[in-house]
Amino acid sequence: MRKLVMIFTGLVLVAATVQAQQITGVVKDPQGKGLDKTTVSLLKAKDSSVVKLVVTSDKGRYTVSAPQAGSYLVSASYVGFQTAYSQPFELSGSGITIPDITISKAKGDLKEVTVTAKKQMIEVKADKTILNVEGTINAVGYDALELLRRSPGVMIDKDDNVSLAGKNGVQVFIDGKPSPLSGADLANYLKSLQSAQIEAIEIITNPSAKYEAAGNAGIINIKLKKNKTFGTNGSVNLGFVQGVYPKYNGGLNLNHRNKSINIFGTYNYNNGKNLMTMTSEKNQFDTLFTQTNKISFKNNTHGFKGGIDYFINAKSTIGAVVSGNIANNDISTSGPMYFTYIPTNQLVKILKATNTNEMERNNMNANLNYRYAVTGGTELNIDADYGFFKIRSNQYQPNYYYLADGTTETSRVIYNMLSPTNIDLYSIKTDYEQNFKGGRLAIGGKVGIVNTDNDFKRYDVFTNSKVLDTAKSNRFDYKENINALYVNYNKQLKKGIMIQFGLRAENTHSRGISTGFKKVTSNWIGYDSTFKRDYTDLFPSAALTFNKNPMKQWTIAYSRRIDRPAYQDLNPFEFKLNEYTFMKGNTELRPQYTNSFSITNIYKYKLTTKLNYSRVNDIFAQIPDTIDKTKGFLTKRNLANQDIVSLSISYPFQYKWYSFFATTNANYSHYVADFGGGNRKVDLKVFSFTYFMQNSFNLGKGWTGELSGLFISPSVWQGVFKTTSMGTVDIGLQKTLFKGKGTIKAAMSDVFQTMKWAGSTDFAGVNSTFRGQGEIPQYKLNFNYRFGNSQVKGARQRKSAVEEETKRTENGGGMGQQ
């Protein structure tokens, strides 16, 4: 054993002393001037396969590292120029400077040039992980929530709450813009977004000061598709999914672009019904409650996006974007609840309650933007945004009580709840960047306002009429204003070190008014539970990257972040979920803060390892509590703290027609809180991990196959719910048709039917267990056809427009980053 350790140590020391071999050179234009921002590719001389890509700096200089000795050549390419190649050369143990490469202007307009690229399903970088949905076979037929469920490090609990790397408080962005929704509202919105609409999902765990400070666990940015090709073009897609029930989706994408203007539009439609089953047991006081529910979700959604960009000149662009989602969702829950008297183990009564909820969830967003940019120099972005959510809920809840025989009715109570919610969002933000002291300085600010109005009315329903129950009705108005300023600076030092540091200041003003009636002795009186919050916080961030040897890069990072309570979690009103379960907000709920430290290593551009430690203060947790002995309610409270250590490792591999990608995310969490001693304490130590792998097979003649798998170990949801393990294996097949213009994909999800969740909790005298599953397996079919121009039409003057589009996509084009 000692010999093995010594051998292993020796190998590590030898590997640490091996230095990548540097290849340097210059790329010039026909006049002999160095050409900056030219793509330089290091190729293997044997088969011209790409080893590494770099971009030339000013005066056309470049340096590229070869991982080992061998035969290589270099190519240089630039829009509007013909690709040029060096002569093959040998590397045998030291660096080399190759002769200058001169590239010539292309003849004509490059009408025959077509660029085709295939991204990996998952890309792992130092600051984020990217799930490329657009090119993935097995993503067909999923909605956004299911895609997140299958994303590395992301956890979705039984109530559809999102957590990341063991931490709650995830901020979800759509096209770079933060969503104001949370909880069930956010989950239902994500269910209305189909994979056909989504280009990629970015999981950003260490956002810089340029991003909003909200989101303790980080940011999940869902990027919707947008066509970037010149000319007039478009695509259509049709999809079908068969689970327990059939589901249909389709979409149209149109785009026209030239050197002066870009007009684009998309439309998507989705119609389907999903079924989930859930079984629960709750032991409270002297009664055992058991229930098996079937929950069906009907979805009829129209999504759209349209906009225009006008390129005033090579430096200035103005644009406007309008997007929206119109969704009609119906949820039906059915299943009897059985009441058993624990001392005698005797069934005493049965509650039959079939709950239906007809919902409308409409969203509209408008953005006006201006961008001024000089390549490699000054850049200014100004965005003004307005958005609204219009949510309507009409819930019918009948409750019929029977004796243990299940046929003799003893009583009934029927409720009808109407709950309209309006959310208005306003924001204006500015970002400015320029070169400064050999680095890049960024400053900016944002003013954001959110107004929320929720009017909850509960009616008692009788045979021929219904009467408003003013004691059980409530109106909650919530306003939040966040003003932010930030500064960020990064610089590459000569000693192979890159520094980045920033500071963000956010000033928050919030006000909530909850009005209704409450019982005092024997009288009902009106109340007004008004609360105000005003506070200012500083959020520093920093990163130090050691990149002298590009084959072994290290990054050390730190950030401080905040997660503010959702407006629903602040409303003190008690909402009745059923006759024996309530939910109420907590006006004393404080923001939770996270300090995160991470170390990341990227080895040979493939093996990525990241170690992270986070300390969360005043963490949110959904606590089940008791009322009237046998009735329970759910509320959110601040646990004392949470310590989390997480480790993620990912590795891609490719050999000829086969490619493989694997990533694992492990975390250790320690939750501590005391709400009164005894059974009201929380002290949990949890180790959990997820493992994802994807195998891709290029089968030839336009055929491609995929085999992917996900495993999720036992974990903890919302601070108190202990869960069991679950996982899934998906398979898919793709065929290109019509000379590459058409694609047909077929897939089967959860082949072995193992994506089933289960768990338990024991707090404040309530012992509960639960288990459930969605529709498994599912069979999916999708067809996509592209029409119109699909070529890169040569024009060097269009380079600025392409850079503009790339930058806009990265920035989110709206109220997303501040």
pLDDT for 124 equals 61
The proportion of the chain whose per-residue pLDDT surpasses 70, expressed as a percent, equals 79
Q: What is the pTM of this model?
A: 0.73
Condensed to tens digits (0 to 9), the pLDDT of residues 356-392 reads 999 999 999 999 999 998 866 789 999 999 999 999 9
The answer to whether 786 and 234 have CB atoms below 8 angstroms apart is: yes
Please write the tens of the pLDDT for every residue from 792-817. 444 333 344 434 444 444 444 433 33
The arithmetic mean of pLDDT across residues 413-435, rounded, is 92
> What integer pLDDT is reported at residue 553 of this predicted model?
84
Give the confidence band of 660 by pLDDT, cuts at 50, 70, 90.
confident
Long-range CB pairs of 334-337 (<8 Å, 24+ gap) are 334/293, 334/294, 335/291, 335/292, 335/293, 335/294, 336/291, 336/292, 336/406, 337/289, 337/290, 337/291, 337/578, 337/580
How large is the average pLDDT for residues 72-97?
A: 79
Mean residue pLDDT across the chain: 81
Q: In this structure, what DSSP letter does residue 496 have?
A: S
Residue 96 has pLDDT above 60, yes or no: yes
Q: Does the pLDDT value for residue 119 go beyond 70?
A: no
Exposed/middle/buried for 639, CB within 10 Å: 0-12, 13-18, 19+? Answer: buried
pLDDT by residue (tens digit) across 179-190? 767 666 677 777
DSSP 143: B
pLDDT for res 619 = 79
Of 277-291, 295-309, 371-385, 579-593, the one with minimum mean pLDDT is 579-593
The pLDDT of 761-770, averaged and rounded, is 78
The predicted-structure confidence for 233-266, as pLDDT tens digits, reads as follows 888 999 999 999 999 999 998 988 888 898 989 9
Span 705-732, average pLDDT? 87
Look at residue 556 in the predicted model and tell me its pLDDT. Answer: 92
Q: Is the pLDDT of residue 59 over 50?
A: yes
- Nearest-angstrom CA–CA distance, 445 and 430: 6
- Looking at 487-496, 537-546, 549-558, 635-644, which range is the least confident one? 635-644
| pLDDT tens profile 184-229 | 667 777 777 777 778 888 888 778 888 888 877 778 888 877 665 6
Give me the amino acid identity at 707. L
**Residue 43 or residue 559, greater confidence:** 559
Q: Is the pLDDT of residue 540 over 90?
A: yes
Predicted confidence (pLDDT) per residue in 498-507, tens digit:
899 999 999 9
The pLDDT value recorded for residue 407 is 92
Strands 162-164 and 154-156: antiparallel
- Digit-coded pLDDT (tens) for 139-151: 666 777 777 776 7
**Higher-scoring residue by pLDDT: 348, 577:** 348
Q: Whole-angstrom Cα distance, residue 706 to residue 725?
A: 24
